Amino acid sequence: MGKKRKLMKVYPIEENCVSCRYCEVACTMVHSKSKDPVKAYKLENLLPRATVEVKGAVSLSLMCRHCKHPFCFDSCISGAIQVDENGQVHLDEEKCVGCWNCVLVCPFGAAHPYVSEEKRHSFKCDLCGDRGFPACVEACPNRALVYDYER
């Protein structure tokens, strides 16, 4: 049977979250072309891959869990979603055809739809693969997000 996976992912700690949404801003910025938080929202119409949820006193930031059994992978009709040998779940936005199956089945609501005039595809947390370290974790002033080995 498969050996233990060596995967690091982002863990939310709801006790520490004050819903400042710095993680959302950082996420949008690093995934933008301009690398500017305002331009990313306003001009590039980008949306964060981390979602801060708030209800009364509880809040937390949620992003793709890179599930051990990713339902998004089962459901993906284009082959855009793939799992690598470490268990990281990748979504190729170019290959995606925007069928929304992953949005329909992700138990965490972590695969999001993106619709614009020219494009439609889904998007989700990529663990900042290009950057080496998740920007949301860096941006969080309250240690409400930690980057840690899979449990």
Partner 1 sequence: MKYVIVGNSAAAVGCITGIRKVDKESPITVISYESSCYSKPMIADVLIDIPQEKLIYRDEKFFEENKVELILGHRAVKVNTDSKVVVLDSNELVPYDKLLISTGAKPFIPPIPGADRKGVFTFTELSSALAFKDYIKKNGVEEVVVVGSGFIGLEVAYFLAKIGVKVTVVELLERALAKALDERSSQIVETLMKEEGVEFIFKDSVAEILGDEKVSSVKLGSGKVLKAGAVVIAVGVRPNTELAQTAGVKVNAGIETDGHMETSVKDIYAAGDCIECLDITDGKVKPLPLFPLAFEQGFVAGLNMAGKEMEYLGGLPLNSLKFLPVPVLNAGIVTPPDSSYEVFVNDRFEEKGFYRKAILKDGKLVGFVAVGQIDRVGILTNLIRQKIDVSPVKERLVELDFGLVDLPQWWREEKLKQDKTAYKDWRAV
Shortest approach of ligand SF4 to residue 36 CB, angstroms?
27
Identified binder of ligand SF4 from the candidate list 8, 20, 97, 146, rule CB under 6 A = 97
Please identify, using beta-carbon distances, which residue of 41 and 108 lies nearer to ligand SF4.
108
Q: Is residue 107 a contact partner of residue 89, using CB atoms and an 8 Å limit? A: no
Side-chain-facing half-sphere of 120: CA atoms under 13 Å: 8
Given partner 1, ligand SF4, none, residue 80, with its beta carbon under 5 to 8 Å by kind, binds: ligand SF4
Decide: helix, strand or coil at residue 15.
helix
Contacts 24+ apart (CB under 8 A), 138-141: 138/26, 139/22, 139/23, 139/25, 139/26, 140/22, 140/23, 140/61, 141/20, 141/22
C-beta of 43 vs 58, nearer to partner 1: 58
Q: Please report how close the Cβ of residue 51 comes to ligand SF4 at its closest, in angstroms.
A: 11
CB atoms within 10 A of CB 98: 16
The one of partner 1, ligand SF4, none whose footprint includes residue 147, by CB under 5 to 8 A per kind, is none
Residues forming contacts to ligand SF4 in the complex (CB under 6 A) are 64-67, 70-72, 75-78, 80-81, 89, 91, 96-102, 106, 108, 110-111, 121-122, 124
